[in-house]
Structure 1
Amino acid sequence: MVSLARYIRNIRRTGIKQWWHQMQYIGDAKAGTLVGADQFGNRYFENLSPEDEVPGRHRWVDFAQHYNNATQVPPEWHSWLQHIRHLPPTEDAVMKESSPPWKAPWVENLTGTRGAYRPYNTVVPKIIAWQPKVMVRG
């Protein structure tokens, strides 16, 4: 349950412009410290004050693009958001050194977009659609 006092306090801390942005994209007024950003421009925040945030909702992401899609969050930041890792990737020594040279760069899931994978079909169809023959009338 979100209290009115918390809501107003967060509006005062962030300002009207940031409050409007948050209401459009995450639907809640939140104030916290910037923890870091990823290679796609997503910004990650945290608020550890127990009177300000509901437990379990004190870490959040501000997406760089206009559509919020969980596949836009890289795995290292996802593990921090879901409390799998205590430290963010910018501070965690294991995450900084765990990027092997053979690892492919991370890309978001493009299903439902123009960039989605579409396989090329090489099989001859069993049913051939009827094509009408046009004859010249004379």
Structure 2
Amino acid sequence: MSFLGKIFTWWDGATIGTLLDSSLKGELVGTDAQGNKYYRSRKPYPAGHPRAGEERRWVIYDGANDASRVPAEWHGWLHGGFDGVPESNLPPPHIWEADYTPNATGTALAYRPQGALERGGKRAPATGDYEAWSPE
């Protein structure tokens, strides 16, 4: 992305201000499998602030800013569910757990049921098991 794009856009990666904040006021805590970087403030919120004494936490996305790209364990950390990084607070994953996948809505990988316009718009014929309601 161009330098001007970094200054004025927020939807495709971090802006210059956020990058400066991260490097000057933030401490890198960790990264997830998608390359998103997680930071916390070096100083807690000052007295008089509604969240006085708490640390500020944020994510810098590797790519488009999409909250669904934050895995559940990091979501819990971002919102103060626990203090340590997720690797130190979570039990090992179960064998039946699926890997994290981002929300595919609006992409070519989105689910499109039979009858959707993207799949030709042809639905299966009605089977006659539906009875319309009519008020008496």
TM range (shorter): 0.5 to 0.7
> Partner residue of 2:78?
81
Aligned to 1:61: 59
- Gaps of at least 5 residues in structure 2 are 116-122, 127-136
Distance 1:110 1:43 in 2: 21
Q: Are 1:123 and 2:124 counterparts?
A: yes
Taking the aligned partners of 1:22 and 1:77, their CA distance within structure 2 comes to 27
SS state of the match for residue 91, structure 1? helix
The corresponding residue for 2:69 is 72
**What is the CA-CA distance between 1:90 and the residue it aligns to?**
2.9
Gaps of 5+ in 1: 1-16, 126-138
The one-letter amino acid paired with 2:62 is A
Pairwise CA distance, 1:57: 6.9
The letter for the 2-side match of 1:45 is Y
1:133 corresponding residue in structure 2: none
- In 1, distance between residues paired with 2:104 and 2:40? 28
Q: CA RMSD in A?
A: 3.0
Q: Distance in 2 between the 1:63 and 1:43 partners?
A: 7
Q: Runs in 1 of length 4+ with deviation above 6 angstroms?
A: none
Q: TM-score, normalised by structure 2?
A: 0.62
Q: Which amino acid aligns with 1:32?
A: G
Q: Which residue, out of 38, 41, 49, partners 1:44?
A: 38
**One-letter amino acid of the structure 2 residue matched with residue 60 of structure 1:** W
Separation of aligned partners in 1, 2:84 and 2:42: 13
Q: Which residue identity does 2:124 align to in structure 1?
A: V
> For residues 104 and 74 of structure 1, do their structure 2 counterparts lie closer, same or farther at Cα, with a shift above 3 Å needed?
same
Cα deviation for residue 84 of structure 1 reads 1.1
Which of 83, 99, 104 is matched with 1:105 structurally? 99
**Structure having the higher Rg:** 1
Q: Percent identity?
A: 31
CA distance change for structure 1 residues 103 and 51 in 2, over 3 Å: closer, same or farther? Answer: closer
Question: Per-residue deviation at 1:114?
Answer: 1.4
